[in-house]
Amino acid sequence: MRKKIVAGNWKCNTTISEGVELAKQVNILVTERGAKDVVVVLGTPFTHLASVCAIVDPDRVCVAAQNCAAEPKGAFTGEVSVSMIQSTGATYVIIGHSERREYYLETSEILNKKVALTLAQGLTPIYCCGEALAIREAGTENNFVKKQLEETIFNLPAEDFKKIVIAYEPIWAIGTGRTASSQQAQDMLAFIRQLIAKKYDQTIAAACSILYGGSCSPANAKELFSQADIDGGLIGGASLKAEDFLAIINAY
């Protein structure tokens, strides 16, 4: 049985005190009313990780960094290494979000280093992929996503690949209010699962949690999560409101 995961991505939002307050609310709601079979993850800014880890129940709420350094340590001013992230108590790292690929020019080569360092430290990468609108309109989204996977996580040996989570986030649906239809999301996730089966094997493909991200909300989560290959969501805007985030967690 693969894990169902609902992960919040707070992006560059909230001060530490606001973030701790939000995490406290989520923790209470999830503990009291959250679906027990859903893994809940809060992707907070680096500055918030330790404080958020200190106040959540680690059996119910996990914490993720939104990025990590591509080097283990050293003279890389402004970077935050995976071992620093681990020392906060966080257990997941979001890697390759389209905003990082686009605004910070993260290439497949850089992402490979980040995934390797995250795995080496025993943390779980949430590896993001997804196409821009022009690619979707040209009808070449499958080839595009396939290439993203082939250049990065498909280089991993099976033992490592088994430890990662994938999030498919079409760029045109992120923060736009324009969600992929549940059929579009299902089609892509089924395609990704098929690629995993070909590259590795059926068992590994069946066990891999693949999430959908992009304007996921309490209004559409149920329909999205009812699809056979959608194992949860990576949630941006709606993860900043505790009740909305809970409603998405409970949409299964």
| Residues identified as active-site | 97, 169
**Measured from the CB of residue 169, what is the shortest distance to ligand PGA in angstroms?**
6
For ligand PGA, which is the closer residue by CB, 156 or 238?
238
For residue 213, state whether it binds ligand PGA (rule: CB under 6 A).
Answer: yes
One residue of 19, 130, 170, 214 binding ligand PGA per CB under 6 A: 214
One residue of 5, 84, 236, 245 binding ligand PGA per CB under 6 A: 236
For ligand PGA, which is the closer residue by CB, 12 or 228?
12
Q: How far apart are the C-alpha atoms of 53 and 23, rounded to whole Å?
A: 9
Q: Are 221 and 180 a contacting pair, CB within 8 Å?
A: no
Tell me which stretch binds ligand PGA (CB under 6 A): 22-30, 82-90, 135-143, 213-221: 213-221
Please provide the distance, in angstroms rounded to a whole number, between the alpha carbons at the two ends of the chain. Answer: 15
One residue of 69, 189, 234, 248 binding ligand PGA per CB under 6 A: 234
For residue 170, state whether it binds ligand PGA (rule: CB under 6 A).
Answer: no
**Measured from the CB of residue 202, what is the shortest distance to ligand PGA in angstroms?**
29
Tokens describing residue 223: 């329909």
Tell me which stretch binds ligand PGA (CB under 6 A): 33-41, 45-53, 129-137, 233-241: 233-241
For residue 235, state whether it binds ligand PGA (rule: CB under 6 A).
Answer: yes
**Measured from the CB of residue 201, what is the shortest distance to ligand PGA in angstroms?**
29
For residue 106, state whether it binds ligand PGA (rule: CB under 6 A).
Answer: no
One residue of 169, 229, 231, 244 binding ligand PGA per CB under 6 A: 169
Residues 30-69 that bind ligand PGA (CB under 6 A): none
Tell me which stretch binds ligand PGA (CB under 6 A): 74-82, 143-151, 209-217, 224-232: 209-217
Q: How far apart are the C-alpha atoms of 147 and 108, rounded to whole Å?
A: 10
For ligand PGA, which is the closer residue by CB, 179 or 205?
179
Q: SS3 string of the chain?
A: CCCEEEEEECCCCCCHHHHHHHHHHHHHHHHHHCCCCEEEEEECCHHHHHHHHHHCCCCCEEEEECCCCCCCCCCCCCCCCHHHHHHHCCCEEEECCHHHHHHCCCCHHHHHHHHHHHHHCCCEEEEEECCCHHHHHHCCHHHHHHHHHHHCHHHCCHHHHCCCEEEECCHHHCCCCCCCCHHHHHHHHHHHHHHHHHHCCHHHHHHCCEEEECCCCCCCHHHHHCCCCCCEEEECHHHHCHHHHHHHHCCC
CA 157 to chain centre: 21
One residue of 175, 178, 198, 226 binding ligand PGA per CB under 6 A: 175
Which spans of this chain sit near ligand PGA (rule: CB under 6 A)?
9, 169, 174-175, 213-216, 234-238
